[in-house]
Amino acid sequence: MDHNWIHDKELAGIDTQKLQTLASLSEQGHGLGQKELLPFLMAAASRTGKQSISFSNQEMQLILTVLKKDKSPEEQAKMDRLFALMQQMQHRTSY
């Protein structure tokens, strides 16, 4: 899997360890179906939380912008929906 996106100049302000962790999670989750994706993301969020790795909303927006480059409108919409779902999950677990 191509992880060149982690070297995009727009992400220069984000800690390299965070980007490497995200790239690793991307690799692990590659090819999962929709039914498997949500449990995977919840487990990943728990693991990164235990490692004290978190992403600000600004960092997530930047990463999403970079990941959406050169994607079809359908893929971009799917990524937007996934990001919205992740934000909802994060909001619910912060209570």
Chain position carrying tokens 């984000």: 14
Q: What is the pLDDT of residues 41-80, one digit of tens each?
A: 778 878 887 888 888 888 888 888 888 888 889 988 888 8
Q: What is the pTM (predicted TM-score) of this model?
A: 0.70
pLDDT confidence bin for 14, thresholds 50/70/90 = very high
Residues 34, 78 contacting (CB under 8 angstroms): no
